[in-house]
Structure 1
Amino acid sequence: MKNTILCIKAELDNVKKLYCNDEYLWIFNIRDNSSSLTRNNIQFRRIDKLDIPNSRGTANFMIKWTEYPKYSTINFVNTKNCCSYEENDTWKDFASFECRGIEIVDFIPSNNFIVEDIKGKVYYDVNLSELNWCDYNEEHEMCVGIYNLEYEIK
């Protein structure tokens, strides 16, 4: 089974690393693999573990489409959810998911990203919902920013 990969690209200003922890609330729009049914703004965390009914498996997210008896699931594949940037404005794999019966069609960035600048200062609760973010490192007198964030699902 092929994994679904979330890739991101952005223009970076003094950013060394962009990542999120296991508590990050992922938000997606999804579609049923075998019909035109969709759900918008579904939310889950990497730490969510749901028991799949009539199965020994677990999932980070689970939905039962109304027309079908089986549950469709999303599970994180073991990834770091982290991008280190040696080159600016290049596509990077950010997260990987195993999707069964679900197609992820859109990613909705929100807050709670974590950014480390090139001097080692860490910024928490970074909000990328506007696809741009900036702050100022007073100790080193420099701007830190993420601009024109783009993402693709492949």
Structure 2
Amino acid sequence: MVLFALQITAELDNLTDLQPQGGCDDPEFTYLFKLKCQSCGELTQKETAVSLSEAIPLPVGKGTTNLLQKCKFCDREGSVTMIPGRGRPLTQMLSEAGKFAPLMVFECRGYEPVDYVFGGGWKVQSLAGTTFDNVDLSEEEFAEYDEKGECPVMISKPSSTFVVVK
């Protein structure tokens, strides 16, 4: 069992607190990424969707997982279980420093997550306090005008990485 933290960063202009719509532990937010089999090294061709709202019983033992999948190449089974409570929003301060914010932790057995895909369902707040809901980052850019703060706001260059955590 290895724990991987999904960490994100982006350039935030006049914005702060980039996170999933319902917060970092939003059960409805779907994480999309490719998986690499730890047995044979095969990379899934399509993105795999994982969310807290999906609970699948483990075939052996007690408990549940959020994803149970067989490798199409070597036929080994692996699982991905999400561990909420360790994520936090990407703030303007972290963004300006070029640092990453941890978003979600995944317990992986038999797989390694790679290549996170940004999509819709994000929220962010302007420095003037305006909240922008259901932000779509699939085009890797978001731009609006903040009436309250009387300034343009923008998210650009979103990027991510998976790091091993304890």
What RMSD in Å do the two structures reach over aligned CA positions?
Answer: 1.8
Instruction: Confirm whether residue 127 of structure 1 aligns to residue 133 of structure 2.
Output: no
**Which residue of 60, 66, 74 maps to 1:60?**
66
> 30, 35, 43: which one pairs with 1:25?
30
Identity among equivalent positions (%) equals 24
Task: Name the SS of the counterpart of 1:86 in structure 2.
Answer: helix
SS in 1 for 2:60: coil
* Structure 2 match to 1:43: 49
Partner deviation per Cα, 1:80-114 (whole Å, 9 max, x = no partner): 35223324132222221111111111101101111
Asked if 1 retains the 8 angstrom alpha-carbon contact of 2:121 and 2:135, the reply is yes
Contact 2:89 2:101 in 1 (8 A): no
Q: How does 1:2-151 map to 2 (within 5 A)?
A: 2-20=2-20, 21=22, 22=26, 23-39=28-44, 40-66=46-72, 67-68=74-75, 71-78=77-84, 79-87=86-94, 88=96, 89-151=98-160
How big is the shift at 1:4?
A: 0.6
- For residues 3-37 of structure 1, the C-alpha deviation after alignment (integer angstroms, 9 at most, x for no partner) is 11112222111112011132111111111111033
Uncovered stretches (5+) of structure 2, i.e. residues with no partner: none
| TM-score, normalization by structure 2 | 0.82
**Deviation per residue, 1:32-81 (Å, 9 max, x gap):** 11103332211121221111123212111110235446x31111122235
Aligned length: 153
Residues 28 and 10 (structure 1), Cα distance of their counterparts in 2 relative to 1, 3 Å cut: same
Structure 1: gaps spanning 5 or more residues = none
Aligned residue for 2:93, secondary structure, equals: coil
Q: Which consecutive aligned stretches of 4+ in structure 1 deviate over 6 angstroms post-superposition?
A: none
Kindly provide the amino acid, as one letter, of the partner of residue 50 in structure 2.
F
Q: Distance in 1 between matches of 2:67 and 2:100?
A: 26
Q: State how far apart, in whole Å, the 2-side matches of 1:65 and 1:24 are.
A: 24
